[in-house]
Structures are given as structure tokens and as C-alpha cells.
């Protein structure tokens, strides 16, 4: 009987963990319901599945809010430490749920997706499964759960990118994404195998983890850590793992681009923070200098993303490169390795998600109504579509970081967190991050301002044909723009929850 006690303890831990696993259980049930709904109501081309998915995401958001209240600043280890729950990752889960809700709303408003021969029921099923994977990415506490959750999200992303099978460009983007994604997964898995061989555990929060790694060869430990970070960096589009982003973002349907540029990135940062925590928390760790490593990655990513965006003419490619730049800026908050830095990161990701989703919705709106996808095709549209164009300016102001906008407050909070840590240790890498962040913010103004320039100050050479478009998308865009302004004036409405 004594031999059965460990198994009994594990089963009790699993049962106790279920009460704090409600959002993920809801997502699992929602996935099955959406799939069944698509089979039963296949004739309505996914409308019933969409309504069910939106309602389900709102329910999951409420369940996460309940968890947020219940945790009360405690760190909970669920399912025998395979998953971790605390305030910070619950906040990220809520941001993911809200962004997923907006993306699902956006899907049928895209002409190319709406005319898809198979309908959109499959897409809603895939998104629901991916959100479950994103939740698990944020909560992962072992290398095994990290790999499984990343692969769940990767497979869903591959399917979404290539969803428009009738489009050769979309199929090419999907194939490119699959090939690069498989290579990144293989690299990450090799790093995990090395990590396990050196430490003897998959649990990141095992008490003996750092002790065993400290005794191992420095070169092998560094290689294992770098390979795992490379797998995470692929999801974050960190330079030099960004090469897939422009072509995939341009080739995918605009709602899929909105999904790729926000949800996996948010979950990726949550995963990165979790992976780094046991090393940063242990003062004995001296094998890998994470501050230098991530600072160099952040600087290169900010410079490459922002300067490459200056030369872009296609709006989606421009937003793709700007997203790479934003990844580098968000890494500044991670490098602080402080509670203030993590709160700044969460606020920044929320502000970026709102503005970026709105900007891509507007890119889709102009593509639908005027078949305008490049800057030259935006000439003179500002006065023809004043509401959409003014909202575009507001959202771009936020992405740039100009007052009064959510993006400005987010950047100020990140700069403050980095500067406070720099004052304590005067680390030159943090100073380099601050300088690079300020310079690239100015550079971003040069390419973001090109869109209002073409909308309002360039004359339309000829009257293009106007196509019908969903007016509901404008309502959503106005709401997102209002949120950006509201958080610009009253940042504490969201900052206090972080």
C-alpha cells in the first residue's frame, strides 16, 4: 500500500488542479461544440459556428477573470507542476481571449475568406484549438508542455495561413511557413533533449535544475539554452528568425495576418518569461548572460524591423516589419527581469494588440472596398472614407507612441522600467536598449506617417471602382480607436490590472 501513495498524491493534485483549469476546460468543450456545430449547420457557411465561438470566448474571458480574482498574487503549480498559474499569465490569457474574439469577428468581413468554397466553419474550429494551445503556452512549467503547446499553435497557424487554397500566393506563404516552422521546432526539440540530458529533469522549477546545469559543461548548457530560445524566438519573430514574417503576413488572408501578428506573439512572451524565471531567480546561475543575449537580440530586432519598414510599399508588409520592431521593443521590458518590467510588458502587449488589430482591419477594409493594398492605391482615399481614415491615423499614432494614445503610455512605462533597473546597476546593455528604443521610435514615425500622407495629402490619379464592404467592420474599428484614446488619457484603467 505505501507504494501507491505517490500515485495517490499525484491523482489528488490533478483533481485539485481542475478547479483552476476552468478556462481551458471551457475551451476544450468549445472546440468540440464548434466542430459539431459546423457539421450540423454546414449549409450556413459557418455563421452558427462563428456565433458559438464568439460566445465561448467571452465565457472563457469571464472564467479567466474569476481565476484572476481567486489567485490573489499567489503562484499555483497545477497538474504536478506541468502548468503554472499566477496574475501575470492570467492577464496574458485575458488579452489573448479578447484578441481572439476580435479576430473571429473579423474573419467573415474579409472578401477573400467570405467567398471561400468550404465556408469558415473549419477556421473557427482551428482558432478555438489554437487559443487552447496559446493558454497552455502561457502556463507551461515544463519543457514537455512547452513543446506540446507550441506545436498545437504551430499546426493551427499552418492551417490558417494556407486556408485560402485557391490562392497561389497563400499556398506559397503556407508552405514557406510550414518549412521554417518545422525547422524551428526541430531546433527547439534538439535543445530540449540536450537540456534534459544535462539536467535530468523537464521541470523548469525543479529544485535541483540549476545545481545540475551549473555542474555541466558551459558550452553545452549555452547551446541547449540558445536552441530553446531560438524556438521561442521564431514565434516572436526575433531577428534573425524573422525571415518568414513579411511573405507570410502578405500572403495570408488579412484576418489570419491579424491572428499571427498578435496572439502567438503575446503567448510567446509569456512563455519566454516563464522559461527565464528559474535562471534569473537563482543568484548562483552564471552559465548564460541573459541580459546581454536578449539585449543584443532586442537591439538588432528593433533596428532591422523599423529600418526595413521604411522602404515598404505594401501596407501589410509595412505592418509586418513594424511588428518585428515592436517585438524588439517588448524585449526591453523582458530584459529588466523585474516585477515592474513584467507589468510594463503586459500593458505594452495589450496596447499593441488593440492598435495592431485595428490597423490590419483597416488594411482589410480598404482592400475590400477599393482593392487598395499598396500605398500608391491609398491616394486620396482619406476624404472618400473619412471615418476609416481618421481611425487609421489614431491607431498609427498609438503604434508610433505619440501622445495621447495607449501606445505612448505603454512605451513610457517600458522606458521607465528599463531606466529604473539601469539606475540600480548601470548596465551598459540597458543603456543601449534605451537609446535604440528612442531612435527607432523616431524612425517608425517616418513609415507610419506615409499612410496618412497618401490618404489625405496625395491626389487620386483616377477614380477607382468601389466594391461593397461590410459596414460592421467600421463599428469595430471605431471601438478599437476609442479604446486606444481612452487608454491614452486614462492608462490606469488597464495598468492597475497588470
Comparing C-alpha atoms, which of 257, 264, 270 is closest to residue 235?
264
C-alpha cell at 478: 471605431
Q: Which of 6-10, 174-178, 209-213 has the highest mean pLDDT?
A: 209-213
End-to-end CA gap in the chain: 47
Percent of residues, the chain, with pLDDT higher than 70: 94
C-alpha cell at 144: 514537455
Question: ω before 240 within 30° of 0 (cis)?
Answer: yes
Comparing C-alpha atoms, which of 313, 306, 316 is closest to residue 362?
316
What pLDDT score was predicted for residue 263?
94
The answer as to whether 204 is a domain residue is: no
The residue with greater pLDDT, 170 or 84, is 84
Residue 419: how many CB atoms within 10 A of its CB? 14
What pLDDT score was predicted for residue 50?
87
Q: Confirm if 143 and 195 have CB atoms less than 8 A apart.
A: yes
**Using alpha carbons only, how large is the chain's radius of gyration in Å?**
22
Alpha helices in 310-385 (DSSP H): 315-335, 339-370, 381-384
The residue with greater pLDDT, 283 or 82, is 82
Average pLDDT over residues 437-449: 92
Please name every residue paired with 203 in a beta bridge, in sequence order, or none if there are none: 142
Cβ neighbourhood burial of 425 (10 Å; 0-12, 13-18, 19+) = exposed
Please name every residue paired with 374 in a beta bridge, in sequence order, or none if there are none: 314
Helix (H, G, I), strand (E, B) or coil at 331: helix
Q: Confirm if 346 and 91 have CB atoms less than 8 A apart.
A: yes
Question: What does the alpha-carbon distance between residue 27 and residue 19 come to, in Å, rounded to a whole number?
Answer: 14
**pLDDT band for position 419 (50/70/90)?**
very high
What digits encode the pLDDT tens for the residues 338-386?
Answer: 889 899 999 999 999 999 999 999 998 888 888 888 888 888 888 888 8
Q: Which letter does DSSP use for residue 287 in this model?
A: S
DSSP 19-87: TT-HHHHHHHHHHHHHHHHHHHTGGGTTHHHHHHHHHHHHHHHHHHHHHHHHHTT--EEETTTTEEE-H
The answer as to whether 373 is a domain residue is: yes
Q: Which letter does DSSP use for residue 454 in this model?
A: I
What pLDDT score was predicted for residue 461?
64
The answer as to whether 100 is a domain residue is: no
Question: What does the alpha-carbon distance between residue 355 and residue 176 come to, in Å, rounded to a whole number?
Answer: 27
Helix (H, G, I), strand (E, B) or coil at 242: coil
Longest dimension (CA), the chain: 85
What digits encode the pLDDT tens for the residues 374-409?
Answer: 888 888 888 888 888 899 999 999 999 888 889 999
Question: What does the alpha-carbon distance between residue 375 and residue 360 come to, in Å, rounded to a whole number?
Answer: 14
**pLDDT band for position 174 (50/70/90)?**
confident
Residue 86 pLDDT > 60: yes
Residue 135 pLDDT > 50: yes
What pLDDT score was predicted for residue 426?
82
Distances (CA, A) of 395 to 12, 388, 402, 440: 49, 11, 10, 18
Pairing of β 76-78 and β 83-85: antiparallel
The answer as to whether 171 is a domain residue is: no
Helices 290-309 and 315-335 sit at what angle, rounded to 10 degrees? 160
What pLDDT score was predicted for residue 82?
87
Residue 3 pLDDT > 70: no
Average pLDDT over residues 123-145: 92
The residue with greater pLDDT, 110 or 482, is 482
Q: Flag the least confident range among 21-35, 90-104, 370-384.
A: 370-384
Please name every residue paired with 77 in a beta bridge, in sequence order, or none if there are none: 84
What pLDDT score was predicted for residue 4?
46
What pLDDT score was predicted for residue 168?
65
Q: What CA dihedral angle connects 350, 351, 357 and 363, to 10 degrees?
A: -160
Q: Confirm if 431 and 422 have CB atoms less than 8 A apart.
A: yes
Question: What does the alpha-carbon distance between residue 417 and residue 336 come to, in Å, rounded to a whole number?
Answer: 7
Helix (H, G, I), strand (E, B) or coil at 142: strand
| Helices and strands in the chain: count of H runs, count of E runs | 22, 2
Helices 472-489 and 87-106 sit at what angle, rounded to 10 degrees? 150
Comparing C-alpha atoms, which of 189, 362, 179, 157 is closest to residue 267?
157
Comparing C-alpha atoms, which of 381, 485, 396 is closest to residue 449?
396
What digits encode the pLDDT tens for the residues 271-320?
Answer: 999 999 988 888 778 888 889 999 999 999 999 999 999 998 899 999 99
Residues of the domain holding 435: 290-498
The answer as to whether 261 is a domain residue is: no
Residue 483 pLDDT > 60: yes
Residue with the three cell numbers 513594424 = 322
Question: What does the alpha-carbon distance between residue 367 and residue 390 come to, in Å, rounded to a whole number?
Answer: 17
Helix (H, G, I), strand (E, B) or coil at 338: coil
C-alpha cell at 391: 481611425
The answer as to whether 445 is a domain residue is: yes
Average pLDDT over residues 164-185: 77
The answer as to whether 80 is a domain residue is: no
Q: Which letter does DSSP use for residue 465 in this model?
A: P
Question: What does the alpha-carbon distance between residue 33 and residue 53 come to, in Å, rounded to a whole number?
Answer: 9
Residue with the three cell numbers 548596465 = 427
Q: Flag the least confident range among 1-10, 21-30, 200-209.
A: 1-10
The answer as to whether 448 is a domain residue is: yes
Residue 462 pLDDT > 60: no
Comparing C-alpha atoms, which of 275, 266, 273 is closest to residue 350?
266
Please name every residue paired with 140 in a beta bridge, in sequence order, or none if there are none: 83
What integer best gives the mean pLDDT of the chain?
A: 87
Residue 467 pLDDT > 70: no
Q: Flag the least confident range among 169-183, 221-235, 424-438, 458-472.
A: 458-472
Question: What does the alpha-carbon distance between residue 471 and residue 265 come to, in Å, rounded to a whole number?
Answer: 29
Q: How many domains does the chain have?
A: 1
Q: Which letter does DSSP use for residue 240 in this model?
A: T
Amino acid at each position: 500500500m505505501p507504494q501507491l501513495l505517490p500515485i495517490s498524491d499525484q491523482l489528488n493534485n490533478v483533481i485539485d488542479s481542475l478547479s483552476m483549469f476552468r478556462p481551458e476546460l471551457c475551451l476544450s468543450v468549445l472546440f468540440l461544440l464548434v466542430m459539431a456545430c459546423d457539421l450540423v449547420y454546414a449549409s450556413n457557411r459557418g455563421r452558427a459556428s462563428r456565433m458559438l465561438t464568439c460566445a465561448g470566448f467571452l465565457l472563457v474571458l469571464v472564467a479567466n477573470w474569476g481565476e484572476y480574482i481567486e489567485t490573489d498574487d499567489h503562484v499555483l503549480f497545477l497538474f504536478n507542476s506541468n502548468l503554472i498559474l499566477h496574475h501575470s499569465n492570467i492577464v496574458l490569457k485575458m488579452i489573448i481571449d479578447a484578441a481572439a474574439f476580435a479576430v473571429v469577428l473579423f474573419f467573415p468581413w474579409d472578401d477573400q475568406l467570405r467567398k471561400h468554397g468550404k465556408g469558415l466553419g473549419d477556421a473557427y474550429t482551428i482558432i478555438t484549438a489554437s487559443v487552447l494551445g496559446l493558454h497552455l503556452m502561457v502556463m507551461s512549467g515544463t519543457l514537455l508542455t512547452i513543446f506540446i503547446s507550441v506545436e498545437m499553435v504551430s499546426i493551427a497557424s499552418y492551417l490558417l495561413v494556407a486556408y485560402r487554397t485557391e490562392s497561389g500566393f497563400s499556398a506559397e506563404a503556407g508552405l514557406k511557413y510550414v518549412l521554417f516552422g518545422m525547422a524551428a521546432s526541430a531546433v527547439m526539440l534538439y535543445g530540449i533533449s540536450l537540456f534534459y540530458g544535462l539536467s535530468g529533469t523537464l521541470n523548469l522549477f525543479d529544485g535541483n535544475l540549476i545545481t545540475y546545469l551549473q555542474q555541466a559543461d558551459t558550452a553545452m548548457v549555452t547551446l541547449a539554452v540558445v536552441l530553446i530560445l531560438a524556438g521561442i524566438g521564431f514565434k516572436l519573430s526575433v531577428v534573425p528568425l524573422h525571415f518568414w514574417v513579411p511573405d507570410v503576413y502578405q500572403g495570408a488572408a488579412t484576418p489570419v495576418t491579424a491572428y499571427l501578428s498578435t496572439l502567438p506573439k503575446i503567448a510567446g512572451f509569456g512563455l519566454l518569461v516563464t522559461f527565464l524565471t528559474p535562471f534569473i531567480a537563482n543568484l548562483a546561475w552564471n552559465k548564460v548572460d541573459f541580459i546581454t543575449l536578449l539585449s543584443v537580440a532586442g537591439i538588432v530586432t528593433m533596428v532591422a524591423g523599423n529600418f526595413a519598414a521604411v522602404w515598404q510599399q505594401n501596407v501589410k508588409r509595412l505592418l509586418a516589419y513594424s511588428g518585428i520592431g515592436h517585438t524588439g521593443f517588448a524585449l526591453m521590458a523582458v530584459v529588466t527581469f523585474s516585477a515592474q518590467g513584467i507589468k510594463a510588458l503586459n500593458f505594452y502587449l495589450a496596447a499593441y494588440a488593440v492598435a495592431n488589430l485595428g490597423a490590419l482591419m483597416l488594411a482589410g477594409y480598404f482592400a475590400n472596398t477599393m482593392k487598395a493594398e499598396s500605398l500608391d492605391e491609398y491616394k486620396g482615399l482619406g476624404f472618400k472614407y473619412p471615418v476609416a481614415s481618421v481611425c487609421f491615423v489614431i491607431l498609427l499614432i498609438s503604434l508610433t507612441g505619440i501622445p495621447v494614445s495607449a501606445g505612448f503610455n505603454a512605451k513610457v512605462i517600458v522606458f521607465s522600467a528599463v531606466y529604473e533597473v539601469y539606475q540600480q546597476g548601470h548596465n551598459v546593455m540597458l543603456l543601449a536598449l534605451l537609446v535604440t528604443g528612442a531612435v527607432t521610435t523616431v524612425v517608425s514615425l517616418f513609415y507610419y506617417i506615409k499612410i496618412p500622407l497618401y490618404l489625405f495629402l496625395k491626389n487620386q490619379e483616377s477614380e477607382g471602382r468601389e466594391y461593397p464592404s461590410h459596414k460592421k467592420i467600421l463599428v469595430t474599428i471605431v471601438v478599437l480607436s476609442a479604446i486606444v484614446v481612452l487608454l491614452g488619457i486614462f492608462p490606469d484603467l488597464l495598468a492597475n490590472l497588470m
